[in-house]
Amino acid sequence: MKIETDFLVIGSGIAGLSFALNAAEIGSVTIITKKEDKESNTNYAQGGIASVLSPNDSFENHINDTLRAGSGLCHEHAVRFMIENGPAAIEKLLRTGVEFSKTNEQSLDLIREGGHSRERIVHARDYTGREIERALLQNVKNNSNIEILENHIAIDLITEHQTVGRDYSKGIHCWGAYALDVENNKVRIISARVILLSTGGCGQVYLHTTNPSIATGDGIAMAYRAGATIANMEFMQFHPTSLFKEGSDAFLISEAVRGYGAILRDKDGNSFMKEYHKSAELAPRDIVARAIDREMKRSGEPCVYLDLTHKNAESIKKHFPSIYKRCLDFQVDITKEWIPVVPAAHYMCGGVVVDMKGSTTIKGLFACGEVAFTGVHGANRLASNSLLEALVFTEPAVQEASVYLKITKLNIPDILPWNLEGTFNQDEWVYLVHDRHVIREVMWDYVGIVRSDFRLARASRRLDVITAEVEEFYKKTVVTNDLIELRNIATVSQLIVRSALNRKESRGLHYNTDYPQRDDKLWNHDTHLSQSVI
């Protein structure tokens, strides 16, 4: 079955939904999402959106905080654009129906998070992402120009390589995607002149992550296979504080908890962050994560603790209702007990290279949100700049996409049907399914918060073998959701390792014990990866 649309949006987070609402004023929009429409990294974002909304703040303050966190690799022009357009983005969300937390005076309740010099985080208690997703989805579902296809996972982007004739004389274009309709077990061709990647991040390549199960790096992997340029994959941000419970998935304990006054302690009750940074608990995330990692290794303990017990119990419940309830599920009362925490893979600062208008290096293919590399995060993302980036950069992306839609004279070429050959060998799949866990263990053990050339080389050798096996299996079998995700996890893991091996210094989120110093003379530049597909 073939579906034709003007705009194909892959992913239903804040970037994809914002783009779709704007694009629907121009043409027809089809959104595909691999699970339910509300399942996205956005929905798991607790903290908020950073924006200059207080008379005690300024654009220059926010810009400087962002540049400082980014360790010299932020693209300043992109940072300035994002921050100066932040207030308008917040105002648009308010008009959309997002209900942010307010003070008793009914002004927006602005809080402070690590790395910020002012209170500038707009939030909806501790479920900001969920509230934004709710409002945007409601508007999307009320728009007759937008169709949402749930339980559809994109397999690969369609370029000249998947067309009859394979004519590359006019460059590489994206004409849509092959997508698996999971419920009906059928592969659909969805063709479009404009395709937006808004697939979120890739935290699932690591054993411990705050990301939902859908965050398998699909957009990055598909774009790389199609020939797009990828950048800065070595900069995976590990959130310092996720709830630690043996055998359970990580659960994010928001940055706002430390901004509220929580203290990090070892098992004996000693606070330790002042030994690592003058801002203590409010230091940038990379510093806090490495500090916790070092304390755990020094003590041999599996976690450290976040202490809120000196704060008023009712106030804690009011500010952090979701965290309070979730921790109670694990028999931890955060008003009376320390919260056991460990770092976990949280946010990819690299991604698919785009310009200031969201265009990738493939014509007709755009990217916004965590999947995209705009340059605003540098070597380390400042807290709560992620939702801001996703909001601000969708506006110029839609404008550029609408221009592309109008001026392109190329007809969509004949697209090759999906190859249905292959047999599903259940016995072989039983063995291969373990590869997902092995990849995540390898990445956690060797490509985590602290790295070395030895660890990275060992990871590279192991991942090369697994990835080759996965690709061979993929070519011989009928596709499934699990196989598609495994293939993407394997691809993205290799990109992270290759990028980390290329950078012979320590900067921001990339810390290599063989090169412990930052080297601005040789390495003050981005890491680009691409492959020839012609």
Question: Residue 63 sits in a domain of what CATH number?
Answer: 3.50.50.60
Q: How far is Cα 334 from Cα 340, in angstroms, rounded to an integer?
A: 10
Q: Is residue 500 part of a domain?
A: yes
Q: Is residue 414 part of a domain?
A: no
Q: Residues 117-123: what's their mean pLDDT?
A: 92
441 with 486, same domain: the answer is yes
| Residue where a domain stops, chosen among 304, 330, 345 | 345
Q: Residues 367-376: what's their mean pLDDT?
A: 98
% pLDDT > 90, the chain: 72
pTM of the model: 0.91
Please say if the pLDDT value at position 218 is more than 90.
yes
User: For tokens 């969201």, what's the residue?
Assistant: 358
| Residue where a domain stops, chosen among 345, 372, 393 | 345
Question: What's the pLDDT score for residue 242?
Answer: 92
354 with 327, same domain: the answer is no
Question: What's the pLDDT score for residue 47?
Answer: 63
Query: What is the separation of C-alpha 171 from the centre of its chain, rounded to a whole number of angstroms?
Result: 29
Q: How far is CA 216 from CA 353, 486, 496, in A?
A: 18, 8, 13
Question: What's the pLDDT score for residue 254?
Answer: 84
98 with 197, same domain: the answer is yes
Q: How far is CA 91 from CA 95, 112, 470, in A?
A: 6, 20, 46
pLDDT digits (tens, 9 = 90+) for 258-297: 989 999 999 999 999 999 999 999 888 788 988 998 899 8
Q: How far is Cα 525 from Cα 319, in angstroms, rounded to an integer?
A: 40
126 with 225, same domain: the answer is yes
For residue 285, indicate whether it is catalytic. yes
51 with 185, same domain: the answer is yes
List, as one string, the DSSP characters of 52-77: --STT--HHHHHHHHHHHTTT-S-HH
User: For tokens 């993407």, what's the residue?
Assistant: 488
Please say if the pLDDT value at position 220 is more than 60.
yes
Please say if the pLDDT value at position 505 is more than 90.
yes
Contact call for residues 425 and 49 (beta carbons, < 8 A) = no
Q: Residues 334-359: what's their mean pLDDT?
A: 96
Q: State how many domains the chain has.
A: 3
Q: Is residue 142 part of a domain?
A: yes
CATH of the domain at 497: 1.20.58.100
pLDDT digits (tens, 9 = 90+) for 150-204: 999 999 999 999 888 888 888 899 999 999 999 999 999 999 999 999 999 999 9
Question: What's the pLDDT score for residue 368?
Answer: 97
337 with 383, same domain: the answer is no
% pLDDT > 70, the chain: 94
Q: Is residue 413 part of a domain?
A: no
Q: Is residue 462 part of a domain?
A: yes
Q: How far is Cα 241 from Cα 260, in angstroms, rounded to an integer?
A: 14
286 with 374, same domain: the answer is no
Q: How far is Cα 81 from Cα 391, in angstroms, rounded to an integer?
A: 12
289 with 210, same domain: the answer is no
Set 193, 285, 451, 487: catalytic member = 285
Question: What's the pLDDT score for residue 210?
Answer: 87
Residue 508 DSSP label? T
What residue numbers bound the domain in which 199 lies?
2-234+349-407
Of residues 181 and 252, more confidently modeled = 181
Q: Is residue 415 part of a domain?
A: no
142 with 100, same domain: the answer is yes
User: For tokens 């659909």, what's the residue?
Assistant: 188
314 with 459, same domain: the answer is no
Q: Is residue 273 part of a domain?
A: yes
367 with 514, same domain: the answer is no
User: Which of 344-353, 423-432, 510-519 is least confident?
Assistant: 423-432
Which run of H or E residues covers position 190?
Answer: strand 186-197
Q: Is residue 452 part of a domain?
A: yes
22 with 108, same domain: the answer is yes
Written as six digits, the tokens of 128 are: 């900001």
CATH of the domain at 319: 3.90.700.10
Please say if the pLDDT value at position 43 is more than 60.
no
Contact call for residues 500 and 447 (beta carbons, < 8 A) = yes
